[in-house]
Structure 1
């Protein structure tokens, strides 16, 4: 580069920085974020322009454009006419947020940890006769991934319509040969990608959903992906602690629709959609979906509304504890009204920056009277919520900004005393294997580690 060209490049960079700063002022989610990006882009465009290109957007564009509500398939009359548990009324705000009602008539099965969960899911997939919808954030070409691949190929060979989605970043290590083998075997498989122009360079928008739907009648949601580490086979994080929910009943149709929205975004077409039969169970359930294409910050609002609904107990398990202001305030208010608030988080990090920020948030939570606990046996990845004695949620949503507003997520909120009792028993065992966090965890940490916690917290909006 010549000497005369160098000043012109510097001027161009500062001009691009100024234009990007204007964009940040208009579109940043918070005033603090707008100020941070503006100062960085104006003063250090050489450093901040590229990160802003990949991380600067909080809105996913085009997801709903052009396909309206084609998945608004009518439910069977029996499902529409069924009467839900009266206790669902206190979650009316969440139902309104989701634009769908609670459904009744469900049978549920709580699936704990990888071996039992994948035994149940793979057996259910192998029983598919008409349609199989499968979606994971991560699929690995390892022992478990190849077991999944074999079941998918067998079902496709038997004439079952098999549709598979995986996230392009979460499954970045998935080799092309794995995908090609499935396609050659008749499986329709696609990578979820941010392929519209305004999303093109964004790393923020990941599809973190885990969904399996078998013949429109059985659905699975929760935290496990298709990889050996989720079976606890990858030290030092093993044993891996996680949870899924098997759902049978009319809300499976809503779970299909969540998958169908993602499928249509990628392919431009709808997957097969089957009516979910009314089951013989009694539980009421609401499928909860969240994502950056929503007009509201659905993930954060879901947690805030669920916490506000608690009157006696709120137990929460999450691998990443990075609450935003609304969720943090809701937890503090729950303590003030006498709710037993307990939060279970890992003792081992899988992402060090998030772990540092979580440690600082845990310190502030303990000072506010929130019971914070670290699970000891292995890495805790489960996303579970217990509200009082009659409600529980299982899904893919973490307690962090990615799940609140940057990732596509899904779960199920269940109102049923029997199921809530199962979740209570599960979490009681987990808390029995955990150590309470005191203020000394932060106060006795080395000075530089405490500084690192505060620096990590600056990145809360991206964690």
Structure 2
């Protein structure tokens, strides 16, 4: 054998050894382990560079720092609610069943997420209406505006939002903004210079002193939270950018779902924001203030829990909530998600429901914003069709909503997609709503969306090209790390 071949073989063997050692140094699930081994073995050197940025788990020190930010003002209430739930005193009889009580118990135990009552919910499915409402509410702020978005672009919408924040900061209102370092990578921090000169503050989540080198960019704060005076809260799928108003020709109309909340659920959003703020900053951390957690009279009739999940916890709270909802369905399961890449546990739950005769409907976009992710999504869409579910392809722009509705009784709206990233790698937040009126409203919106879809059939799947099927199969292999 020539010297060249000896060298090639030696490099190949060394690469495999290093790949095995690298991946097994950190505890991760089997699917992710095999996916990273595939990348490291097939892409020598380049694979290790990719792993350096995207594969390393978040440091234990940083996890501890986030986990020790206590849910301000919530600890004692969680203990009391667990007792009330056992005594059937927590949820009203009109809006609770044994199933909803079990979901509430799951989140009290896994996330210490309190059940809030008497909330008023306004639903937004159009970006223009959502952001007009948000800007109006910001302009009315008297004490504080706390804002967290995965993406804040420095375009026309970003400037409109910033102008409203600057006006309030100039009036003496506390303005705090968190933006994700990866999701807002095209936005320079100097975009917020004037806001900070007026007394506001803007902080990147998991940012880096070196823009190009950020070894934590795989752990993204995908949450979208706004809290105004502790009385009004926003949570859902819309980010800040012109494309979310349907102004990007590539995506066209942007179909999303967002909530405007008045009531005690806002206090849970406030608690989440404060924890994220304190994790993002080195100085100027927030402490409890009465103005952050005002006493709020009932504004409506909706019960809900605000549930968070992320790499700071092994619980995968939102994923477990999805599984619980799916497993309790008796009639129907309506799912909307731009990325549908379920892990085995979620896939099994949906498959069992579909094969049991439950009306399972899944809606995904007709175009990718991330090619590998979309091809993996279409692979699993095919699996769902084979299991008997109805898969709808939204054909009126881009579908970005993350909603689940079960039996027209219980619903979830938030930031978490049906994929590995949302379940394990991203910091996410969802509202789980125990109000048949809201669930049925969301179900009606879903049914209206179906009119703008085409049904994915076995015939369409069979007629896909061999190249398309290969891309789907290959993307599925990478799905645990996409």
Distance, in Å, in 1 between the alignment partners of 2:302 and 2:335 is: 21
Q: Which residue does 2:73 correspond to in 1? A: 73
Tell me, yes or no, if structure 1 residue 90 matches structure 2 residue 106: no
Distance, in Å, in 2 between the alignment partners of 1:40 and 1:345 is: 27
Tell me, yes or no, if structure 1 residue 127 matches structure 2 residue 140: yes
Distance, in Å, in 2 between the alignment partners of 1:302 and 1:95 is: 11
Tell me, yes or no, if structure 1 residue 51 matches structure 2 residue 50: yes
Distance, in Å, in 2 between the alignment partners of 1:117 and 1:290 is: 25
Per-residue displacement from partner, 1:207-256 (whole Å, max 9, x unpaired)? Answer: 11000101111111000011000000111211111110111111211111
Q: Which residue does 1:342 correspond to in 2? A: 361
Out of 198, 214, 236, the residue aligned to residue 250 of structure 2 is 236
Q: Which residue does 2:222 correspond to in 1? A: 208
Where 1:374 maps in the other structure, the secondary structure is strand
Q: Which residue does 2:200 correspond to in 1? A: 187
Tell me, yes or no, if structure 1 residue 171 matches structure 2 residue 184: yes
Tell me, yes or no, if structure 1 residue 270 matches structure 2 residue 286: yes
Q: Which residue does 1:360 correspond to in 2? A: 379
Out of 159, 180, 190, the residue aligned to residue 172 of structure 2 is 159
CA RMSD of aligned residues (A): 2.7
Q: Which residue does 1:245 correspond to in 2? A: 259
1:28 Cα deviation after fit = 4.8
Where 2:65 maps in the other structure, the secondary structure is coil
> 1:13·1:46 contact (CA, 8 Å) conserved in 2?
no
Q: TM-score, normalised by structure 1?
A: 0.90
1:38 Cα deviation after fit = 4.5
Equivalent residues in 2 for 1:294-373, closer than 5 Å = 294-373=313-392
Q: Which residue does 2:3 correspond to in 1? A: none
Tell me, yes or no, if structure 1 residue 258 matches structure 2 residue 272: yes
> 2:148·2:223 contact (CA, 8 Å) conserved in 1?
yes
Distance, in Å, in 1 between the alignment partners of 2:18 and 2:319 is: 30
Distance, in Å, in 2 between the alignment partners of 1:182 and 1:306 is: 42
Q: TM-score, normalised by structure 2?
A: 0.87
Where 1:64 maps in the other structure, the secondary structure is helix
Query: 1:304–1:75: structure 2 CA closer, same or farther, 3 Å change rule?
Result: closer
Query: 1:40–1:70: structure 2 CA closer, same or farther, 3 Å change rule?
Result: closer
Per-residue displacement from partner, 1:311-337 (whole Å, max 9, x unpaired)? Answer: 211101111111111111110111233
Distance, in Å, in 2 between the alignment partners of 1:374 and 1:270 is: 44
Tell me, yes or no, if structure 1 residue 440 matches structure 2 residue 459: yes
> 2:230·2:293 contact (CA, 8 Å) conserved in 1?
yes
1:52 Cα deviation after fit = 1.6
> 2:65·2:279 contact (CA, 8 Å) conserved in 1?
no
> 2:118·2:264 contact (CA, 8 Å) conserved in 1?
yes
Distance, in Å, in 2 between the alignment partners of 1:347 and 1:220 is: 27
Distance, in Å, in 2 between the alignment partners of 1:264 and 1:424 is: 37
Query: 1:240–1:282: structure 2 CA closer, same or farther, 3 Å change rule?
Result: same
Where 1:109 maps in the other structure, the secondary structure is strand
Tell me, yes or no, if structure 1 residue 292 matches structure 2 residue 299: no
Tell me, yes or no, if structure 1 residue 375 matches structure 2 residue 375: no
Where 2:217 maps in the other structure, the secondary structure is coil
Greater CA drift, 45-54 or 151-160: 45-54
Structure 1, unaligned runs of 5 or more: 1-6
1:448 Cα deviation after fit = 1.1
> 2:336·2:363 contact (CA, 8 Å) conserved in 1?
yes
Query: 1:66–1:221: structure 2 CA closer, same or farther, 3 Å change rule?
Result: closer
1:18 Cα deviation after fit = 4.0
Query: 1:76–1:162: structure 2 CA closer, same or farther, 3 Å change rule?
Result: farther
Number of aligned positions between the proteins: 453
Distance, in Å, in 2 between the alignment partners of 1:16 and 1:183 is: 48
> 1:102·1:285 contact (CA, 8 Å) conserved in 2?
yes
Distance, in Å, in 2 between the alignment partners of 1:212 and 1:412 is: 14
Tell me, yes or no, if structure 1 residue 219 matches structure 2 residue 201: no
Per-residue displacement from partner, 1:61-80 (whole Å, max 9, x unpaired)? Answer: 32333872443315999x97
Distance, in Å, in 2 between the alignment partners of 1:64 and 1:361 is: 35
Structure 2, unaligned runs of 5 or more: 1-5
Q: Which residue does 1:3 correspond to in 2? A: none
Greater CA drift, 388-397 or 176-185: 176-185
Query: 1:27–1:278: structure 2 CA closer, same or farther, 3 Å change rule?
Result: farther
> 1:60·1:205 contact (CA, 8 Å) conserved in 2?
no
